[in-house]
Amino acid sequence: MPSITSIATQDVRFPTSLELDGSDAVNVDPDYSAAYVVIRTDAGHEGHGFVFSCGRGNEILTAAIDAYARLLVGRDIDELIYDLGAASRLLIHDSQLRWLGPEKGVTQMACGALVSALWDIRARRENKPLWLLLAEMTPEELVSVVDFTHIRDALSPEEALEILRAGQDGRDQRIAELKADGFPAYTTSPGWLGYSDEKLVRLSKEAAAEGFSMIKLKVGGDINDDRRRMALGNLPIAIDANQRWEVSEAIEWVNQLAEFHPYWIEEPTSTDDVLGHAEIRKGVAPVRVATGEAVASRIIFKQLLQAGAIDVLQLDSTRVGGVNENIAILLLAAKFGVPVCPHAGGVGLCELVQHFSFFDYALVGRSHENRMIEFVDHLHEHFAEPVRIINGRYAAPELPGTGAEMLSVSRDRWEFPAGEGWQEVGNRAAVTGAALAPAGDGR
């Protein structure tokens, strides 16, 4: 019986603050990072997973993964990967570690990294990319991996089973369509707040030439700057405030931009403020309200949907408890008829999140209408299977696994703080000192 012999973590960070890639009104100088984990067995299996952060604090995520990993070492790998619902509950509902969340923040993300690494082993074992593995699983097994705790009032196991059984009709045709045509995308690459107008215009023109039908701009720094930048775009525009505003401020600000017809306003306020989102949605209509990248759990998503607070649900591949919880979120969105447009970007998020949209179309939401995946053209070269964009659409992932595997040479070069890349960067990046105050004596 093959068992887990080791679980190794790495703190991997990239100096994206040097060019202000990823900058917005709140995250002004991110250094895109991954708390990375590899699960190994005595039968030679490997499973890769990670969660994303913006730099400082990535070591906290890595330490949390190490803490949860102790619950898995020595266990039978087959028992875990062929009952992934139980595997997830073993981690997320640990009677002592759960106190640190519960089911939110660093601990939930750490569990998600390990759960997703187990899915990576399962998908590799079955020689399928994750999206296809999920699409071809039975409805009953898919329901068995979902944790319905605290969401049964919105979605019962019976309702989830009904959604998935309905998805069997036409499934093979939709899988064939995905393999042939991919999935629609939009891009945020031109829209970072730290970019000059000239760079915004140049990258917007490149996006149009590459087949993208929409770009996203970061807003919320200065209203006059936002108005000027929105007038520069040559494609339809979505806007993203990254939780910058109070509720009344969000309504006022978005209405001042309404003449530019933004496709949606993303994260107008705290993602924990369900009622605030509902009020904003009423106050800025017909501009859509989108949120999700910082929503901590399926339970908050449930409330956003019950309150009619969002028009677009933006799940994130590493914010919640891994593959299992994102399946629950997709099913909730289908139950309430809200389209899913996942958050991506960062480091590796595009590689991961594409699988959820492909699965959603194949079996759950079963529609392209008002659905697209975010694309950001950063750091893909570091992955074993970089995303492929063809005429503004994600091409279907083909390699077995979840897409999480980062090249070992990249992991070693950018391991923080001792990797060769960081020795070259020195203190020029935000994470190494450019934005840090001098150390004091603690008084």
What value does the mean pLDDT take over residues 14-19?
Answer: 91
Q: At what angle do helices 274-284 and 298-306 cross, to 10 degrees?
A: 40
Element (DSSP H or E) covering residue 10: strand 4-13
Separation between Cα atoms, residue 127 and residue 129, nearest integer Å = 7
Q: Are 208 and 230 in contact (CB under 8 A)?
A: no
Residue 302 annotated in active site: no
Strand-pair category, 183-187 with 373-375: parallel
Under 8 Å CB-to-CB from 382, ≥6 apart: which residues? 14, 347, 348, 406, 407, 410, 414
pLDDT, position 238: 97
Q: Which of 390, 23, 15 is nearest to 189 (CA)?
A: 23
Contact 113, 65 (CB under 8 A): yes
Q: What is the pLDDT of residue 442?
A: 37
Element (H, E) at 11: strand 4-13
pLDDT at 20: 72
pLDDT at residue 434 greater than cutoff 60:
no
Rounded to the nearest 10 degrees, the angle between the axes of helix 323-336 and helix 157-166 is: 80
Choose, from 48, 104, 302, 343, the residue flagged as catalytic: 343
> In sequence order, which residues have a C-beta less than 8 Å from that of residue 146 and are 6 or more positions away?
85, 157, 160, 324, 327, 328, 331
The reported pLDDT for the residue numbered 374 is 97
CA distance 18 to 206: 22
| Model confidence pLDDT, tens digit, residues 167-220 | 999 999 999 999 999 999 999 999 888 899 999 999 999 999 999 999 999 999
Does 343 participate in catalysis according to the annotation?
yes
**Contact by Cβ (8 Å): 311, 362:** no
* pLDDT(438) > 80: no
Interval 20-79: pLDDT, tens = 777 666 776 889 999 999 999 999 999 999 999 999 999 999 999 999 999 999 999 999
Catalytic residue, candidates 128, 218, 277, 378: 218
Query: What pLDDT does residue 440 have?
Result: 39
> Mind listing the pLDDT tens digit for each residue in 297-338?
999 999 999 999 999 999 999 999 999 999 999 999 999 999
Which 8-state DSSP code applies to residue 44? S
Q: Where are the alpha helices (DSSP H) in 247-375?
A: 247-256, 274-284, 298-306, 323-336, 349-359
Residue (of 283, 151, 286, 263) closest to 213 by Cα position: 263
Give kind and range of the element (H or E) at residue 408.
helix 408-413
Burial 344-371 (b: 16+ CB within 10 A, else e): bbbbbbbbbbbbbbbbbbbbbbbebeeb
Provide the token pair at 225.
Answer: 């700057």
Q: Do 394 and 178 form a contact (C-beta atoms < 8 A)?
A: no
Q: How many residues does the chain have?
A: 443
Give the integer Cα–Cα distance in Å for 362 and 172: 8
313-316: long-range contacts (C-beta < 8 A, 24 or more apart)?
313/338, 313/339, 313/340, 313/341, 314/266, 314/290, 314/340, 314/341, 314/342, 314/343, 314/374, 315/340, 315/342, 315/343, 315/353, 315/356, 316/292, 316/342, 316/343, 316/349, 316/353
Report pLDDT digits (tens) over 346-390.
999 999 999 999 999 999 999 999 999 999 999 999 999 999 999
Is residue 352 within 8 A of residue 321, CB to CB? The reply is no
**Are 73 and 6 a contacting pair, CB within 8 Å?**
yes
**pTM beyond cutoff 0.85:** yes
**Domains of the chain from N-terminus onward:** 4-129+408-432 (3.30.390.10), 171-394 (3.20.20.120)
